[in-house]
Amino acid sequence: MVKNLLTRANGRLSVGLAASFLAGSTLIAGLLGLYREKLLLTYYYGTYPQAIDAYKVAFTIPDFMFFILVSGALSVTFIPVFNERLIHGNKKSAWELSSSLLNLLAIATFIASILIIIFAEPLVQYVLAPGFDESTRGLAVSMMRVIAVNPFLFSIASVLSSMQQAVGRFFFYALAPAIYNLGIIFGILFFTNGISVFGHQVFEGGIMGVALGVVLGSILQLLVSSIGMIGMGFQYNFRIFWRNLGLRQVLRLLPPRSFDQGIDYFNNLVEINLASRLGHGAITAYQVATTLYLMPINLIGVAISTAAFPKMTQRIAAHQTDLFKKELQSVLRVIIWLSLPIAAIVFLCRAFIVAFVRVGGDPKIADVLGILALAILFRSVYHLASRSFYAQQDTRTPLYISIGSISLNVILCIVFVLNAGLDIYGLAAAAAITAFVEVLTLFVIMSHRIPRLFSANFIEAVLRMVSATGLTFVVTYIMARIFNLTTVDVGFLALLPSFTIIVSVSLGSYLVFSKLFKIPEVDPVLSKIKSLVFYKRKIS
């Protein structure tokens, strides 16, 4: 029975089903992430904000090393090359490539983890948080040394999950982030009170318990990714095949993408550095708003583009450029159609959304979220725009654009925060402006490579989506005014009914407006709703 369940879970999914499944799993992981933030804010934000600031800073360098060495590089350089070998039936080369990359990244991240442990103190003091006082800095250093194991664990899990993603297996790949968040939540709920073994206290707890929860989540994520490999036929070899042409191709593509990820994350380092100078809680306030803002982007932009990417690479590998163009247009339209109303709802309901993670709400976090909401569309589209280049095994163009965009963002952050005195709102404004410029540049270049990518029909359809969103914005505004957030709405159960009504009416209105404006993306949704309604009636 267990074998049958694993076989079904590891089955190949279509692009549409994979996108829906990834969106659903991302939603679950996002909700767990929000619960994690709620626990942290409840326990520490009002009484000990320095602790959460230290925790957020402790993550930065381990995450930076993982992103620069592994994360994006794997998904956009390894998958196209791996797929190319599988399509041509060369499994031996595919397994040698996978084993080599797994071993190479494990060695690199193990060394990086050791270096983080050694240099944690100067990194926090001089690079990340020069505005921290001595006790907060010491706390951040201690937690960073615990979390330093993350890049090593994540690197192994990421290679395994990328192999599954490449062949259309998404179940355990999608499950891993939720498991990771569960580990952190477990640490918050149980490790912060200390750890006892046979009645003896071996760990005192406190905020350091959260760091242990992070490590637990990383181990569980690796375990889940390993289970997803069952039935794939992967033949692991404990060596690096330097002569494997696939490995050489990946290593040639890897540096531009890794540097791209590195400078992208460099922007986060600048934001933390500046926020550390703005008083206790500033880092946490900005990062909580960022977490809330990224949730719809992950649900829409990341989930859909991740599901579409393997098929896009297959089209390019098979030299089916017309089908590549058609699918790119189709997926782009879906992302735009979904992102526009969500951005409007997040902007108008920002106080409600923040109140879900911070009891009673927080005006500063809500205002930052409102500014970031303006960039939801652009950041959602960005993930598909960049992958359209990676599918063509072009990692250099996005790199050059990222260098220009991050440079712009850093300049804007410094000007807005230090010169104009806009506090953390300046960081949000810089992020929104940069997102627009980066996506615009990517698509201008792509439109030159693919003639008529943005045809008159495409532009007309987008304008109709904007019109439908404008009417939805009015409906959402009216609903938000009717169900205005009050001081009585301080709990999850008190907030949920009002927020659910606002969102339901807003999205329902958007579907109606989309139908009136003859936007074809609405038809599958309405058909699904209709089938569910009639199915329930039939059961009755």
For residue 493, give the H/E element and its range. Answer: helix 492-516
What is 423-471 written as a DSSP string?
HHHHHHHHHHHHHHHHHHHHHHHHHHHSTTTT-HHHHHHHHHHHHHHHH
Tokens of 255: 């540096």
Are the C-beta atoms of 309 and 387 separated by less than 8 Å? yes
Helix axes 350-357, 321-348, angle to 10 degrees: 80
Which stretches within 299-375 are classed as H helix?
Answer: 303-317, 321-348, 350-357, 363-373
Q: pLDDT over 70 for what percent of the chain?
A: 90
In this prediction the pTM is 0.81
Instruction: For residues 93-111, give the mean pLDDT.
Output: 93
pLDDT in tens, 410-461: 999 999 999 999 999 999 999 999 999 999 999 899 888 888 888 889 999 9
pLDDT in tens, 275-324: 999 988 899 999 999 999 999 998 899 888 888 887 888 788 777 888 88
Which stretches within 167-281 are classed as H helix?
Answer: 171-190, 208-227, 245-275
- Which of the four pLDDT bands, split at 50, 70 and 90, describes residue 271? very high
* Long-range contacts from 366-371, C-beta under 8 angstroms, 24+ separation: 366/289, 367/425, 368/285, 368/286, 368/289, 368/424, 368/425, 368/427, 368/428, 369/289, 369/292, 369/293, 371/425, 371/428, 371/429, 371/432
Alpha-carbon span 300 to 288, nearest angstrom? 19
Are the C-beta atoms of 331 and 303 separated by less than 8 Å? no
Are the C-beta atoms of 37 and 288 separated by less than 8 Å? yes
Domain residue spans in the chain?
30-278
Are the C-beta atoms of 415 and 429 separated by less than 8 Å? no
* The one-letter amino acid at 208: M
Alpha-carbon span 131 to 275, nearest angstrom? 8
Angle at 342 between CA 337 and CA 348, to 5 degrees: 140
Q: What is the DSSP letter of 277?
A: T
Q: What is the pLDDT of residue 322?
A: 84
What 3-state DSSP class applies to 200?
A: strand
- Which of the four pLDDT bands, split at 50, 70 and 90, describes residue 535? low
Q: What is the pLDDT of residue 252?
A: 83
